[in-house]
């Protein structure tokens, strides 16, 4: 069993081969293959740390594209009748890690 840390969308994610994770939205259709920089690779015996990244790439397949749950932002100022309510749904991509 090997664990890999990848960089995707400005964030770092701990992944394993065959697992599905949710990351920030990337362009592509479901079924497309994408690759990510590998920052760390650890198996049962050794740990390789990149400075800043290893030479190896981690490949994955886009499983789906979607939007997250709605988050409501409410602004209110007392004594001025000022009220604003805005909703936001963050887009995301689900990927399945191949290797």
Specify the pLDDT at position 1.
Answer: 75
Tens digits of residue pLDDT in 3-18? 999 999 899 999 999 9
Which residues have a Cβ under 8 Å from the Cβ of 94 and sit 6 or more positions away?
A: 20, 21, 22, 23, 62, 63, 64, 65, 66
Indicate whether this model's pTM tops 0.75: yes
Pairing state between β 71-77 and 82-88: antiparallel
In the block, tokens 């969308």 appear at 9
Specify the pLDDT at position 99.
Answer: 80
Tens digits of residue pLDDT in 33-84? 999 999 999 998 999 999 989 999 999 999 999 999 999 999 999 999 999 9
> Domain coordinates of the chain in residue numbers?
3-97
């Amino acid at each position: 069993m090997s664990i890999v840390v990848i960089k995707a969308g400005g964030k770092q994610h701990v992944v394993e081969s065959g697992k599905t994770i949710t990351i920030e939205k990337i362009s592509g259709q479901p079924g497309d293959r994408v690759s990510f920089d590998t920052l760390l690779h650890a198996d049962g015996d050794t740990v390789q740390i990149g400075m800043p990244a290893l030479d190896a790439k981690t490949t994955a397949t886009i499983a789906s594209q979607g939007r997250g749950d709605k988050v409501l932002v409410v602004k209110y100022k007392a004594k001025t009748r000022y009220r604003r309510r805005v909703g936001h749904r963050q887009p995301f991509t689900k990927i399945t890690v191949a290797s």
